[in-house]
Amino acid sequence: MVEIDHASSRALIKSMAGLVDSAEGKTRTDGVVTRVESDGTVWVRVNRSTSETPCVRTTASAKPNDQVVVSISGGRATIEGNMTSPATDDAKADEAIKTGSAAKQAAESARKLADSAIGDAQVAKTAATSAAKDAASASKSAASAASSASSAALSAQSAAGDAENASASATSAASSAESAADDAKSAMSSALSALTQLGTVEDVMGTLSWLRDHEVYMPATSFDAGETYFELMDGKYVEVENPVADDIASYYVYDHQATMAGFVQEHLTLTERGLYITMSKPTEYQPDDVDYYEYDVARSFDPDETYYQLFISESGTWYQQVENPVEDGVGSYYVRRCNAGGIRPMGKGYLLLTDQDVRVFGPSGRVIARYGYDIELGDSFLGKGVAHIDGNSMEITNADISERLNLGNWSFEQRENGNLTLTWKEA
């Protein structure tokens, strides 16, 4: 397999790192999107202006009536941020814009890696097939030699020497057959290894497919003989085979930076809790949401905990804080969790990277595993989950064992009559 060189790796990592704005000499202002044309041009009415300004390039998605941030530099207007629908992190988008070209190079290296992996897999398959044929041929040779040895044994009195030679030939043929079989196993192992690595490359190609399906183009402003130009035909961007300078006004160029920024904004969301990794762009909880706070039945008593009671009437339901909670009230009390800084459940699992741990969320939006200085397995909203690992010990709060529990050489087993037996098992 061909590995990605260090230069390509650094380029890909740099494109995904944070996006930092280093532009100088720009004028920034606020504005409202008035319309979006099919060629990608976004018209904005900036503050203190009654006319529309065309923005030929945007690093953030926008639609009519969105409040956006417009940068004007060199006579060109660019949308750098969307205040109505903010991106994950504008600083990171700026860094992705600066490093888009390096990301393209890394993507091309990954595509070459996939082609090489496929070739390696095909070579390995051919070797395995050839080795298998050699093994079959050697096996037939061994069988033939053995038959000759048997015939020679019947005439041992007259041809003892020939029988010995035939026996030696049979042994040699059997050894050759075993060697050929080993070669076949080795070839098959190499083929499987190549296919495994090919799966990794396919994951990279999946990213490249996303980038291809979400390509961003912008109108060309100058002619360069070495540049690749596109024309918008029937709603699709088609590469121009022989571009000429006179037609530059109708040409578009591929915006690598904006495409990579779109990928980052789709799958990475930075909140006050940490960095979320999701399958699609999530939505954060807002203070005015009815589910901004989440309540669950209290299962244990903690004098330092704040408890609530549920009240139901014809006018609706509400939770009210308990002034003087008592332990006997557990079961009728509720505990509250604030969803500030979190994202809404999307019906799919996702990850959260904090400065303390990594948390795995299930499709319902509840934590099902946490990995940090210690490990928590199961929903720990109301205390510890199913299992807790700290240092060299493991605490299990709830376990179901269907047949047997082994402790060293001792075993707890259930009898047919339902009783439990402790049995010593020989080492």
Question: Could you give all domains of the chain from N- to C-terminal order, each with its CATH number?
Answer: 20-88 (2.40.50.140)
d(CA 3, CA 200): 11
pLDDT band at 266 (very low <50, low <70, confident <90, very high): low
Percent of the chain with pLDDT over 90: 7
d(CA 393, CA 410): 20
Percent of the chain with pLDDT over 70: 66
Handedness of CA 130, 136, 140, 145 (dihedral sign): positive
pLDDT band at 323 (very low <50, low <70, confident <90, very high): very high
* pLDDT at residue 77, as a whole number: 84
Question: Which of 216, 225, 217, 221 is closest to 249 using CA atoms?
Answer: 221
Q: Does residue 335 contact residue 306 with C-beta atoms inside 8 Å?
A: yes
pLDDT band at 118 (very low <50, low <70, confident <90, very high): confident
- In the predicted model, what is the mean pLDDT of the chain? 75
Q: Which residue has the higher pLDDT, 336 or 142?
A: 336
- Mean pLDDT calculated for residue range 398-426: 83
d(CA 94, CA 226): 26
Going by the DSSP 8-state scheme, the letter that residue 187 receives in this structure is: H
Q: Does residue 282 contact residue 276 with C-beta atoms inside 8 Å?
A: yes
For 19, phi and psi rounded to 5 degrees? -105, 115
d(CA 35, CA 40): 10
pLDDT digits 0-9 by tens, 218-237: 788 788 877 888 888 887 88
Q: Which residue has the higher pLDDT, 258 or 317?
A: 317
* pLDDT at residue 76, as a whole number: 84
Of 205-219, 350-364, 407-421, which range is least confident? 205-219
pLDDT band at 350 (very low <50, low <70, confident <90, very high): confident
pLDDT digits 0-9 by tens, 188-217: 566 556 545 544 544 544 555 555 555 667
- Mean pLDDT calculated for residue range 363-392: 78
Q: Which residue has the higher pLDDT, 267 or 3?
A: 267
pLDDT band at 15 (very low <50, low <70, confident <90, very high): very low
| Sheet of 367-371, strands arranged across | 268-270, 275-277, 350-353, 358-361, 367-371, 375-377, 387-390, 393-396
Residue 167 to residues 153, 161, 187, 419: CA-CA distances in angstroms?
Answer: 9, 10, 30, 64
Q: Which residue has the higher pLDDT, 201 or 283?
A: 283
* pLDDT at residue 12, as a whole number: 41
* pLDDT at residue 306, as a whole number: 93
pLDDT digits 0-9 by tens, 150-165: 665 666 566 566 656 7
Of 27-36, 184-193, 313-322, which range is least confident? 184-193
- Mean pLDDT calculated for residue range 5-34: 57
Q: Which long-range contacts (CB under 8 A, 24 or more apart) does 25-30 make?
A: 25/73, 26/71, 26/72, 26/73, 27/71, 27/72, 27/73, 28/69, 28/70, 28/71, 28/72, 28/80, 29/69, 29/70, 29/72, 30/67, 30/68, 30/69, 30/70, 30/83
